[in-house]
Amino acid sequence: MPVQRNSRPAPTVEHQAATVARLAEQIPAAPRAALGVGLWRSAVRAVDAYESHLRRYGLSAGRFGLLLTLFGAEEEAVPPSTVAQRVGVSRPTVTNLGQKLVAAGLVDRVSGGLCLSAAGRARMASVAPDHFGRLAAAVDALTEEERATLQAALPVVSRFCEHLLAEEEA
């Protein structure tokens, strides 16, 4: 099986199994934690794939998220706090991304917040259909059973992440 290279560290399946076997006696939770490690490995691979996919458009995930939010907005200008809430990032992150996108000519800063410039709207009009088409094609490559399994797993993954973050914040 070829080794999949990630931009951030995550254990290979083989290394994960060997490590869990070695740690099982020292750390009783290691075998149960192996599922979490597997999720970590899959998450790293998913993020790498998504970021690689967005690089074809010359965009980072953050910039794309902000542009997509503005592209899909019903209002002409969206306040940075609203963009932050919709994208799931902090307001300073939106300010930073917004400044970069204003400098790139894709976003305009107006009194009510941020909106796509004419160049930004044209860019997203070409990028969004291709982006969603590629996502749909990736889903179409799965069997019906795999799609159902993936759909059913999404809330479980979200709960896992919420619990992991809650433990971190405690």
35-67 pLDDT per residue, tens: 887 888 888 888 889 899 999 999 998 899 999
Alpha-helix runs per DSSP H in 73-143: 80-87, 91-103, 118-140
Residues 44 and 117 in one domain: no
CATH number reported for the structural domain that contains residue 63 in this entry: 1.10.10.10
Average pLDDT score over residue span 131-144: 94
pLDDT digits (tens, 9 = 90+) for 111-127: 889 999 999 999 999 99
Q: What angle do CA 73, 77, 81 make, to 5 degrees?
A: 85
The helix or strand, by DSSP H or E, that contains position 9, with its residue range, turns out to be: none
pLDDT at 1: 40
pLDDT at 3: 44
Q: How far apart are CA 36 and CA 66, in angstroms?
A: 30
Asked whether residue 3 is assigned to any structural domain, the reply reads no
Total of domains in the chain: 2
Q: Which residues contact 38 (CB under 8 A, 6 or more apart)?
A: 13, 16
Residues 115 and 142 in one domain: yes
> 169 pLDDT exceeds 90?
no
Q: Please give the residue that has the higher pLDDT: either 72 or 35.
A: 72
List the domain range (segments joined by +) for residue 48. 9-55
Residues 48 and 122 in one domain: no
Residues 48 and 64 in one domain: no
Asked whether residue 132 is assigned to any structural domain, the reply reads yes
> 163 pLDDT exceeds 90?
no
What is the token pair recorded at 115?
A: 């909106």
